[in-house]
């Protein structure tokens, strides 16, 4: 069976060297992923889950990077037990 993932909400840092996006797997679990590049002429590579966010059972989505590099995102409990909240990550 082929695993299909959906990529949504890309956002690029002001210097163009960091890309964040939301990736949803077939089980509808959403994670924020990040990739970097050495300069604007290179492709993004080395995509990984965003650090400490990877340990939560909640869904992270809708990443946004401010001009000064702060990452904001929405987190919602996967089971729908609480309201959706806005978070920031260093």
Put the strands of the sheet holding 71-76 in their side by side order: 59-65, 71-76, 85-89
Residue 50: predicted pLDDT: 81
Per-residue pLDDT of the chain (90 residues; tens, 9 = 90+): 345 578 888 999 999 999 999 888 766 678 888 999 999 999 999 888 886 655 566 788 889 999 988 898 888 877 767 677 777 776
Residue 12: predicted pLDDT: 95
CB contact at 8 A, 77 and 29:
no
Please tell me whether the overall predicted TM-score, pTM, comes out greater than 0.85 for this model: no
């Amino acid at each position: 069976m082929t695993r299909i993932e959906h990529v949504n909400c890309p956002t690029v840092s002001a210097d163009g060297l960091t890309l964040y996006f939301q990736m949803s797997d077939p089980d509808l679990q959403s994670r924020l992923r990040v990739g970097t590049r050495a300069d604007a002429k290179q492709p993004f590579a080395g995509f990984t889950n965003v650090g400490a966010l990877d340990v939560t059972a909640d869904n992270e989505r809708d990443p946004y990077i401010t001009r000064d590099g702060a990452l904001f995102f929405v987190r919602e409990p996967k089971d729908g037990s609480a309201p959706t909240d806005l978070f920031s990550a260093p």
